Chains A and B, each alone.
Chain A
Amino acid sequence: STTISRLKLLDTTVDTFLQKLIAAGSYQRFTDCYKCFYQLQPEMTQRIYDKFMTQLQTSVREEISDIKAEGNLEAVLNALDTIAEEGKDRKELAWRPSGKPEEDLRSTLMPYFLQQRDALQRCVRKQEAENRQLAGAVLAGRRQVEELQLQGQAQWQAWQALHRGQKELVAVLRES
C-alpha cells in the first residue's frame, strides 16, 4: 500500500543491479579467472579487484546521475508520482490517443465549442428579451402616434367645421 516514489525505486533498482553484479563478480571468481597472477601477487590482486569494483560502481552511478540530469528525471518522475497519486482511485483504463488526430482533437475542442454555443444562446436570449421590450415600446409608440393623429384629426375637423361656419357667416353677413 505504501507507494514508493519512482525516483527512489529507480535508485533502489540500480543499487540492486550493482549489488548483484558485484556479487556475481566475486573476488573468488576474479582470482579463479586470474589464477596465475593471483598466485604471483595475491595482495596486488586484491587491490586491483577492489579498485575494479569501486570504479565500476562509480562509473555506473555517475552515468545514472547524468541521465537524471539530462532527462530532468527527478522533477519528471516526481511529477508522474503526483499525477499517478491524483488518479489512483480510478480503476478503469484511461483514454489513450486513438491514432486519429482529428478524432482526439475533437474532444479537446468540443468543450470550447460548447461554451461558445452556450454563450451564443445567452446572447440570443438576452437580445430577444431586449427586442421584446423594444417591440413593446414600438407598439406603444405606434399607439401614441395614432392617438396623436386622431387628436390632430379631431382638431383639424373642428377647425374645418369652424371654417365652414365662418363661410356661412360671411355669406349671411354679405346677404344682409
Chain B
Amino acid sequence: FDEIIVDLATKRKQYPRKILECVIKIIKAKQE
C-alpha cells in the first residue's frame, strides 16, 4: 500500500510537468 502511495504521489508530482513539456513542444511545433 505504501509503495503504491509513493508511486502514485511521485507520478502526480512528475507527470504533469512532463506532459506539459510535451504539450508545449506540440504547441510550438504547430505554431512553427
State the A residues within 8 Å of B (CB).
Answer: 97, 101, 104-105, 108-109, 112-113, 116, 119
Please report which residues of chain B, range 5-23, place their CB below 8 angstroms from some CB of chain A when the two chains form the complex: 12, 15-16, 19-20, 23
Complex Cα gap A116–B16 (Å): 18
Dominant secondary structure of chain B at its interface with chain A: helix
Complex Cα gap A24–B24 (Å): 61
CB distance B31 to A109 under 8 Å? no
Contact with A116, one of B12, B19, B20, B27 (Cβ below 8 angstroms): B27
Residues from chain A with Cβ under 8 Å of B31 in the complex: 116, 119
Residues from chain A with Cβ under 8 Å of B19 in the complex: 105, 108-109
Q: Which residue of A lies closest to B23 (CB)?
A: A109
Contact with B16, one of A108, A113, A119 (Cβ below 8 angstroms): A108
CB distance A112 to B12 under 8 Å? no
CB distance A109 to B20 under 8 Å? yes
CB distance B20 to A108 under 8 Å? yes
Closest 8 A-B residue pairs measured CB to CB?
Answer: A108-B16, A116-B27, A109-B23, A97-B12, A105-B16, A108-B20, A112-B24, A112-B23
Complex Cα gap A35–B13 (Å): 57
Q: In the complex, given contacts A104-B16, A105-B15, A105-B19, what are 19 additional A-B residue pairs having Cβ atoms less than 8 angstroms apart?
A: A97-B12, A101-B12, A101-B15, A104-B12, A105-B16, A108-B16, A108-B20, A109-B19, A109-B20, A109-B23, A112-B20, A112-B23, A112-B27, A113-B23, A113-B27, A116-B27, A116-B30, A116-B31, A119-B31
